[in-house]
């Protein structure tokens, strides 16, 4: 695969505009971006092997095969694959993919840029599990990334530390990050390696919107279905944080 491979990505955003009658309204816009593959990372956020919420586990199982397809395709195009299953680094201790991040020269991230931080559109009080009951688990049942996600120890990296990953990105010349995983209203936004921190550090980031899920219970505000709750969170991200793209568009991005 040529090292100058470029990903052509149709990013979707939403901006506040006006109708012909002069009323304010949110408008969806799509604009193509050109991201060099060698300057791009694909980060898998907390795609764990287990979860405290059985409904969350079930939904993730449905996503994993497509996630694996995207990982394999982008790796072949020269994109850096980043596995970020938080709180499981002991499992990967000493592995080449783990050591690769730790060996990067330390770099102090830039001062965080100011950024509005409006409240999320869904109420996830209590954890957001929508199952009838939660299975009895240890407090943190996850021990590793989901085994359905392929890890290539020769080129991939593993970390759950935003500063370490920022240093690695600087070493590799990575300026753009695609992110997929769970859960959109929690880890995908708030982890030290995830959307809010990357935006505030000035790193280009985009969410793969069909390869994510949310912790949201329809019994809470805004009292919509789980799928509609996820949609509201994705639209919130498009409005206030970063653009989104679909997995189909990502898979087609490197083709002529």
121 within some domain: no
- Domain of residue 65 covers 37-108+138-250
Look at residues 53, 61, 68, 185 and name the one whose alpha carbon lies nearest to residue 123. 185
73 within some domain: yes
Q: pLDDT tens for residues 27-65?
A: 999 999 999 999 999 999 999 999 999 999 999 999 999
- Mean pLDDT for 212-228 is 97
* Biggest distance spanned by C-alpha atoms of the chain: 62
In total, how many domains does the chain have? 1
pTM: 0.95
Q: Measuring CA to CA, how many Å separate 191 from each of 7, 81, 86? A: 26, 17, 9
202 within some domain: yes
113 within some domain: no
150 within some domain: yes
236 within some domain: yes
CATH number, domain with residue 211: 3.40.50.850
Q: pLDDT tens for residues 142-199?
A: 999 999 999 999 999 999 999 999 999 999 999 999 999 999 999 999 999 999 999 9
211 within some domain: yes
13 within some domain: no
Retrieve residue 108's tokens.
Answer: 């102090």
């Amino acid at each position: 695969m040529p090292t100058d491979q470029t990903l052509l990505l149709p990013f979707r955003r939403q901006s506040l505009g006006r109708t012909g009658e002069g009323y304010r309204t949110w408008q969806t816009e799509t604009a193509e971006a050109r991201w060099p593959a060698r300057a791009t990372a694909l980060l898998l956020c907390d795609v764990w092997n287990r979860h405290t919420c059985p409904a969350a586990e079930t939904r993730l199982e449905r996503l994993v095969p497509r996630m694996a397809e995207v990982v394999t395709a982008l790796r072949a195009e020269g994109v850096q694959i980043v596995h970020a299953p938080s709180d499981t680094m002991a499992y990967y201790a000493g592995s080449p993919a783990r050591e690769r991040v730790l060996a990067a020269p330390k770099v102090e991230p830039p001062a965080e840029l100011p950024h509005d931080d409006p409240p999320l559109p869904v109420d996830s009080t209590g954890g957001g599990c929508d199952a009838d009951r939660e299975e009895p688990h240890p407090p943190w049942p996850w021990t590793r990334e989901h085994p359905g996600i392929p890890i290539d120890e020769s080129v991939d990296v593993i970390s759950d530390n935003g500063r370490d990953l920022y240093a690695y990105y600087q070493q590799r010349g990575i300026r753009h990050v695609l992110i997929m995983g769970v859960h959109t209203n929690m880890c995908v936004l708030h982890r030290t390696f995830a959307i809010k921190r990357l935006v505030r550090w000035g790193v280009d980031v985009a969410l793969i919107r069909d390869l994510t899920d949310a912790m949201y219970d329809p019994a809470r505000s805004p009292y919509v279905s789980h799928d509609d709750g996820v949609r509201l969170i994705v639209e919130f991200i498009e409005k206030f944080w970063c653009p989104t793209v679909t997995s189909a568009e990502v898979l087609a991005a490197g083709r002529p």
